[in-house]
Amino acid sequence: GQVLPADLNVVTRRAPTERELADLLFAWTVAKHVKSNAIVYARDGATVGIGAGQMSRIDSTRIAARKAQDMAETLGLAAPPTQGAVVASDAFFPFADGLITAAEAGATAIIQPGGSLRDDAVIAAADARNLAMVFTAMRHFRH
């Protein structure tokens, strides 16, 4: 289903900006149509990296960032488009590693369902990196 801003639960100290919120909702919609484990990096209303179909969420996160880096190199961009991007995950982050990888790639905000036994550790990792993160309480898991 569609997620509206009112459906989101901000779980970090920092809430998303208006621009981040628009990109988060866009990335969430894209992730709904991507094979799990789906990770979508988006910026300014466009996807900039997609990782899909991997056994682990961390692998999808790395692949999506690598695709964005490859695009930057091909286009001769000074920085990868993941800088200032947001990330959507079709299911919860079971560990903080995927979120940390996204932050290292330049992501500033995350949208995910939440519901992991380790949500507190993932939220703490987001707060430590000044990321905004919202939970949807809705999964899109597709195999």
CATH code for the domain of 84: 3.40.140.20
Q: Is 140 inside any structural domain? A: no
54 lies in which domain range?
5-135
| 12 has pLDDT over 90 | yes
How far apart are alpha carbons 70 and 37 in whole angstroms? 21
In tens, the pLDDT along 91-108 reads: 899 899 999 999 999 999
The pLDDT of residue 7: 87
In tens, the pLDDT along 18-72 reads: 999 999 999 999 999 998 889 999 999 999 999 998 989 899 999 999 999 999 9
Q: What's this model's pTM, rounded to 2 decimal places? A: 0.93
Number of domains in the chain: 1
Q: Is 51 inside any structural domain? A: yes
